[in-house]
Amino acid sequence: MSFKYLRFNLILVIFSSVLLATGCKDKVSLTKSGYIISKNDIELFQPNDKHKEYLDISKSTPLISTLLNNGNRKFCSGALIGPDENDPLKRPRILTNFHCFAKVDKNKKIIDEFLDEACANTDIHFNFNISNSVDTLTAECTEGQLKGDFITDLAVFTLSENLPKEYVPLELWDEDSSIDGREAFILHHPDIKQNFRPIDGSKVNLPATAITETDCKVIGDFPKDEWPLDPVLAFSTKHDCDLIHGSSGSALIDKQSNKILGINWGGIEITFKNQHTKNNSATKATYIRSFLNNELESVKEKSKQERKAADLEKQKNATSNSTQKFLDKSPAASCGTLRSPYNNNALQLILLILVPFLAVLTRSAILNKTMY
């Protein structure tokens, strides 16, 4: 075989390898709206009737509304927590998601940058229930006091003033290792049109408080071999409590202690290792505490190294498989896909079959051509 043909075949093999690697590349995309798991367990919060036992704690789960420059409103849920220890005025704070205040790029993907309107045009509505018998209290965000973390999807800001004593801050869960299987509930403001009501008699309508308390339980952490799919998974716990758009930033609350187990950032659907799962998710209290104490960077660096190790192990396992093992185990590939019920094995199989055929066919064509 001449050098010319050898060079061509080498180029074809390299090109084919790139195609195979691309077919096996993880596609990462997270939902931020949440899922209804099985039947819909989100109920309208009834402060004077069915849910009166939650009335006091509902005062600690406000609606967050930001007026955008285009005239639209962006809303999320939040959780009232205690003041920063360095705040001389001891003003309470609100925990929520980073993406509630984030800018988006031209592809509508969230980026690591706050909106110009964030905090400056943000109102916090407490007691925003469907009942007209409960007075709504509106507070403001203190400008310059909003901080967030893109990876863990956490944000916190200080209120401009103190609240009446009946508004009691929620506490963080302090035993992270034991949250698996905990019964929980969520007080949130999901985007359910029939639950909308006007703010203080104005023409501005926003979603009133809803509750998820049935079929609401912590499932547990994401396994380490899934962490490379997205960095937020290393800091999150799975649960089956129903969420939808508007629930973002709400607290996943332990039913027994009323402490915050996590802050909900949405739902995630994963096809990985021949398994398809759909769960709602929250950033765990342990990492919320690190975030609030400005200690998150070292924790994130450790997690980054663990994700790299898991990713290398996954790649090692993938490359060590022979072609026959791959065919025998298909479609259980080592690659994962988020938010897709499909994997990339079909493409890989097609390439494995066609590449040798194309190489022979193309070489034959070149030989025939050079004979004339």
179 token code pair: 């949250």
Radius of gyration of the chain (CA): 26
Instruction: Measure the CA–CA gap between 185 and 251, rounded to whole angstroms.
Output: 8
Closest CA to 247 of 239, 256, 259: 239
Say if 63 falls within a structural domain: yes
Helices (H) and strands (E) in the chain, counts: 6, 21
| Domain-located, residue 48 | yes
What does the CA dihedral 276, 278, 279, 283 come to, rounded to 10 degrees?
Answer: 70
361: in domain: no
List the pLDDT tens digit at each of the 372 positions of the chain.
Answer: 554 544 555 444 444 444 333 333 344 445 667 999 999 999 999 988 899 999 999 999 999 999 999 999 999 999 999 999 999 999 999 999 999 999 999 998 999 999 999 999 999 999 999 986 568 899 999 999 999 999 999 999 999 999 999 999 999 999 766 899 999 999 999 999 999 999 877 888 999 999 999 999 999 999 998 898 889 999 999 999 999 999 999 999 999 999 999 999 999 998 877 888 899 999 999 999 999 999 998 788 877 787 777 777 767 766 554 333 322 322 322 233 333 333 344 444 544 555 455 444 444 333 333 333
Amino acid at 155: A
Residue corresponding to tokens 């905090």: 119
CATH of the domain at 208: 2.40.10.120
Could you tell me the two tokens for 209? 């408080």
Tell me how far apart the alpha carbons of residues 259 and 178 are, in angstroms, rounded to a whole number: 13
240 domain-assigned: yes
Using alpha carbons, list the distances in angstroms from residue 261 to 37, 124, 217, 254, 314.
19, 22, 11, 6, 30
Residue 315 lies in a domain: no
The whole domain housing 110 covers 42-310
In contact, 87 and 158? CB cutoff 8 Å? yes
Sole residue written with tokens 């290398």: 312
**H or E element in which residue 126 lies:** strand 122-126
Could you tell me where the DSSP H helices lie in 38-140? 55-58
- 80-93 CB burial, b ≥16 within 10 A, e <16: bbbbbeeeeeebbb
Specify if 360 maps to a domain: no
- Do the domain assignments include residue 9? no
Half-sphere exposure of 147 (CA within 13 A, CB side): 10
Within a domain: residue 102? yes
80-to-60, 154, 259 alpha-carbon distances in Å: 5, 14, 11
State the total domains in the chain.
1
Sign of the torsion formed by the C-alpha atoms of 307, 155, 265 and 215: positive
